[in-house]
Amino acid sequence: MMARKFSEREKEIIRERLVEAGKECFGVYGLKKTSIEQLTKAAGIAQGTFYLFYPSKEELYFELLELEEEKVRRQLLEETEETGVMTKERFVRFLRKSLSVMGENPFFRQLYEEEVMEQLVRKLPPEKLAAHFDKDADVALPFIRRWQEEGWLTSHKPEIIVSLIRSLILLTMQKWLIGEDVYDETMELFIELMADGLMTK
């Protein structure tokens, strides 16, 4: 039996449905526990149709991850649009915003909490992953580099500063270990110390 041919408009609608289904299913169940059947059922299409658009569920997940990264970049950009001198207060706001938008995002949480990256590396074409990381996959990296060029941040490797921010985000997932009664003050102190240590002025 020949696969049905879809018009360009139908393809656009199906892709939009799959993207929404992916956001819903991956957000709730994660990459490992989400099946093609769940995705196609949520999108209202046949399982065979899925493969006309994506070779695997990992390809869909990866596309969504890139969309989420772009959304986070825009959110962080809002925190950096203020012109003039970079102050400690502005940098602290940036760190708080980074924690909020990345720590609460289910896609980023899964990358940190589960073996999702390992699964993506196994399933995705190496050239796709390489192209992704060449685009500065770490959403904070472009901002760090810019502030270093402007002379507001120390000359540590930008990747190390991003790693500090990533480490801070990891702490948001250990609230119960830190202790809920001291968590908020602990995180605020971490942010203050990071700002003091990284600002040059």
Distance of CA 127 to the CA centre of its chain: 20
| pLDDT tens by residue, 70-119 | 887 777 777 676 656 778 888 898 888 888 877 778 877 777 666 777 88
- Angle of helix 57-78 versus helix 141-149 axis, rounded to 10: 40
Q: Determine whether domain 1-54 maps to CATH 1.10.10.60.
A: yes
Whether 1-54 and 56-198 share one fold: the answer is: no
| pLDDT tens by residue, 129-154 | 777 665 545 667 888 888 899 898 99
d(CA 46, CA 16): 15
| pLDDT tens by residue, 25-52 | 998 899 999 999 999 999 999 999 999 9
Task: Please state which CATH class domain 56-198 belongs to.
Answer: mainly alpha
Are 75 and 61 contacting, i.e. CB atoms less than 8 angstroms apart? no
Give the global pTM. Answer: 0.71
* pLDDT recorded at residue 19: 95
What residue spans define the domains of the chain?
1-54, 56-198
